Amino acid sequence: MLLRVGHRFGRVDLRRRMRDYVRGLLGPVGRKNGWQLAEYVGHDVPAGLQHLLNRARWDPDEALDDLQEYVAERLGEPDGVLIIDETGFLKKGTASAGVQRQYSGTAGRTENCQVAVFAAYASSRGRTLVDRELCLPKSWTSDRDQCRAAGVPDARAFATKTEPARNLVARALASPLPVAWVTADALYGQDWHFRRMLEETGLGYVVAVPKSQQVKSLAGCWRIDQLMGDAPDDAWERLSCGDGAKGPRVYDWAAAQLPAVSFFGGDEPSHHRWVLARRSIAHPDEIAYYLAYAPDGTSVAELVRIAGSRWAIESCFQSAKNECGLDQYEVRRYPGWYRHITLAMLAHAFLAAMAAQAEDAKGAAETDLSSCRSAWQKSAGSWRLAAPGQATTASTPVMP
């Protein structure tokens, strides 16, 4: 990984500092700030690492290109899922780019924080973060002097969270990542422009929506909670949407395919729109709703799997913050934020790739073990112990 991105850093000293920084993020450092990282990697002072983040000449977007290529090689699968979600970074003061009092899902309340939208890639081989975009509130974009002081480009204007989400999807499609599906929570799922963009690119999606979501088709127009509330009892089936920390996450699910709209899909559409509902077994009043767009022939079980894959980005946030210092930065300026976050994502992608490699090795070892012939062999109705390397089968009797 470090060799792959090394050419993005023009000087030898920068490459060494980049390697040291990522090594520190991966190391057993209690608080991954400048001083502790510098001490861990053997620097007398953190000035070199701070220079890497704040003033050195390198482009984090170019390093991100290498990260996506690396993830495609190590974790890529044809049915890969791109997951969109945001996370918050609690901060003190008012100087950090994009910081203000705003709701943080991480804290579960309004806090002084930065908020960023991320994309994660998930497949049967693993999951990791693959893109990021810092959100700038109106209080920032309306104050150009404050933006310039924090290094925010003049071209950055205010955007709702669904706009950077569309940018992340577009960049993923332009990358080597094999993406077949997109999933996201209701903040993004309720946005028609986001869903329509996915349909125009040919991607399948399963996105959460609020219970008040309007569902329009040739058959009529309903609120999704009213529509799914009319589902007959036998429309519900018990399915797992994937394994969680406590085992399979099993819910009752109902799904229905909507009538095709020829204006969008043609006379013989290759994809179909669906509505889904997920009902808690322990608390039947707790129901979540989804809209989906899937290739012809997609099963309900597959839609449920995609809906359940959204938890993977929460796992990525937790592990990247706990293990790679994603949220333990001291930079305040806009360029420094992107540089630290990108290097932390590189560290997290490396861990994900190593986990996938270990799983592959484990599977190969189990296959080799299961293919080894047992010393216990049966022949002519009786059991015998074969000598090492001795071929013994039912059709080749053992000589007395």
The tally of CA atoms less than 13 A away on the side-chain side of residue 134 is: 28
pLDDT for 381: 64
The secondary element (H helix, E strand) that includes residue 207 is: strand 204-209
Is residue 327's pLDDT more than 60? yes
Kindly state the DSSP code that residue 390 receives in the 8-state scheme: -
Output the pLDDT for position 164. 96
- pLDDT at res. 398: 40
Higher per-residue confidence, 6 vs 382: 6
pLDDT of residue 46: 95
Higher pLDDT, 143 or 260: 143
Report the C-alpha gap between 11 and 174 in whole angstroms. 29
Beta-carbon contacts of 89 under 8 Å, excluding residues fewer than 6 positions away, are 106, 113, 114, 115, 116, 327
C-beta neighbour count of 204 within 10 angstroms? 23
186, amino acid identity: A
Q: How confident is the model at residue 385 (pLDDT cuts 50, 70, 90)?
A: confident
387 CB burial (10 A radius; 0-12, 13-18, 19+): exposed
Would you say residue 390 has pLDDT above 80? no
**Looking at per-residue confidence, does 265 or 232 come out higher?**
232
The token duo for 237 is 């089936």
Q: What is the mean pLDDT of residues 259-271?
A: 68
Q: Which of 313, 327, 305 is nearest to 130 (CA)?
A: 313
Q: Given the structure tokens 């990247």, which residue do they identify? A: 320
* DSSP secondary structure string for all residues of 219-236: TEEEEHHHHHHT--GGGE
SS3 state at 173: helix
Least confident piece of the model among 32-46, 226-240, 280-294, 378-392: 378-392
Question: Which pLDDT score is estimated for 370?
Answer: 56
The whole-number pLDDT of residue 389 equals 54
